[in-house]
Amino acid sequence: MRLLHFYILRQLVVVFCGVLSVLTFLLVFVGAFQQAKSTGLGPLHILQIFPYIVPSLLPFTIPATLLLTVCFVYGRMAGDQEVTAAKAAGINVLSLLWPAFFLGSILSVVSLLLTDQVIPWSMVRIRETVRTAMEDIFLDVLRTQNHMTAWDMATVITVQGVEGKTLIRPNFRYAPIGRDPVIIQAEKATISFDLEKQQVILNLINGKIDANGRNIRFLREERPFPMTDKTPPPKPRHLSIEQIESETDEIQQRLNETQERRDMETAMALAMGNFERLQSPDFDHFKSQIDVESRNISRLKTALHSRYALSCSCFFFVLLGSPFAVIQARRQFLTSFAWCFFPIVVVYYPIVFLMMNLSKTGDVNAAWAMWVGNVVMLAAAGFVLRRALRN
């Protein structure tokens, strides 16, 4: 039995690694194109982020690849009468499926580790590459043209020259819509990008600031400006579980403080008989702030619980696909894969996305809602597995 299990497991691993490599190689270009489109990276920087795009694709490619693998291996075994021979030797079909269940369990853990540790790390590396690319592009434009318009057309920059990363005689004119312009002149300046806070940091030396009709001189000044284009802030799925829990606790604390202030204001208004205050904009502000914080908590909890549920989908895909491939022995493995994957596409994923959207809005509890799709898969797998064992 150990030799038979090792034989099946080896077949599964070989096919899985081959298919996963090809599929990931094809999809990595799509991920690189999306990053280039959203951040404006050039070809050289796209090549630099290639290794970091791969981990972000694996949680999506592993379940489908594993399903295709079990359909191929067990479909071939059943078609070549190997399953029949094993049953004639007194070996139960369920015993033949254990290597697939074992591989599905291992890959579920691997997917969870990828989403919790590897993907957040790779996204940090991508953001660092983007930051470096933005600095390089910014300095190259100023080095060649001595002026540029940046950050949603609100800032005009002119320089006398560029030495390394230092701007010589820079002049910054920041004029957002609806506000008076701010003009900054300096002898030298360096610039850096803070993608987490979506800010551009100017470190100025020996200059003056003209704002609101006042002229202020300085020896050293650090000025942040909002960066309204490029690089969106990190999404919850790009955070680790520890970061999600920490951010959830912070938002929950702010929510509790806001609710306490609202309750105190309400009690004071009722005690003083000032019922008109209950309809004032202050209480509308409390309500809007509580709604925003509640949605943020629901969004983070959805990202947390969906991470566990979607990682375990590897096991449930195998639980359904392997006995189904045994039943469909006389069909080609691609046909078995299509017959098995089509219900997953039209039933499983719509349920998952529906529960995800309801969880983000707080209409349902993400702790159980994100597992509804897996429960449906488990019910279907139980029906198919019973048929495979009976026949």
Q: What is the DSSP string of 23-63?
A: HHHHHHHHHHHHHHHHH---HHHHHHHHHHHHHHHHHHHHH
Is the separation of the CB atoms in 8 and 73 below 8 Å?
yes
Neighbours of 140 (CB within 10 A): 12
Backbone torsion region of residue 193, taken as left when φ is above 0, otherwise alpha when ψ lies between -120 and 50, otherwise beta:
beta
Neighbours of 374 (CB within 10 A): 22
Long-range contacts: 242-246, Cβ < 8 Å, 24+?
Answer: 243/120, 244/300, 244/303, 244/304, 245/304
Whether 19 and 94 share a structural domain: yes
Domain finish residue from 180, 206, 226: 226
* Per-residue pLDDT at 100: 92
Q: Dihedral sign for Cα 140, 145, 151, 152, please.
A: negative
Domain-located, residue 279? no
Domain finish residue from 201, 226, 251: 226
For residue 391, what is the DSSP state? -
Whether 52 and 123 share a structural domain: yes
User: Could you tell me which residues come within 8 angstroms of residue 85 by beta carbon, excluding any fewer than 6 positions away?
Assistant: none
CA distance 142 to 159: 7
Domain-located, residue 42? yes
Whether 103 and 178 share a structural domain: no
Q: Which residues form the domain of 170? A: 152-226
Domain-located, residue 274? no
The SS3 assignment for 182 reads: strand
The tokens for 7 are: 């034989």
Domain-located, residue 234? no
Count of the separate structural domains present in the chain: 2
For residue 279, what is the DSSP state? G
Whether 376 and 305 share a structural domain: yes
Whether 129 and 162 share a structural domain: no
pLDDT in tens, the chain (391 residues): 588 889 899 999 999 999 888 888 877 776 666 655 555 556 666 777 777 778 888 888 899 899 889 988 888 888 888 888 888 888 888 888 999 999 999 999 999 999 888 888 888 887 777 767 777 777 777 788 888 776 555 678 888 888 877 888 888 887 767 677 788 888 888 877 776 666 778 788 888 888 777 778 888 888 777 665 444 556 777 788 888 888 889 988 988 888 888 888 778 777 777 667 666 676 777 778 888 888 889 999 998 999 999 999 999 999 988 888 888 776 666 777 777 788 888 888 899 999 999 998 888 998 999 999 999 999 998 998 888 887 6
* Per-residue pLDDT at 230: 47
Neighbours of 232 (CB within 10 A): 10
The tokens for 71 are: 């359909």
Whether 166 and 83 share a structural domain: no
Whether 78 and 127 share a structural domain: yes
CA distance 384 to 382: 6
Domain finish residue from 203, 226, 249: 226
CA distance 279 to 155: 41
CA distance 335 to 341: 10
Domain-located, residue 203? yes
The tokens for 155 are: 């800032």
Domain-located, residue 272? no
Whether 197 and 100 share a structural domain: no
Whether 127 and 215 share a structural domain: no
Neighbours of 215 (CB within 10 A): 9
Whether 52 and 128 share a structural domain: yes
Domain-located, residue 90? yes
Is the separation of the CB atoms in 376 and 351 below 8 Å?
yes
Amino acid found at 149: T
Whether 122 and 50 share a structural domain: yes
Domain-located, residue 22? yes
* Per-residue pLDDT at 150: 66
Whether 12 and 101 share a structural domain: yes
CA distance 271 to 264: 10
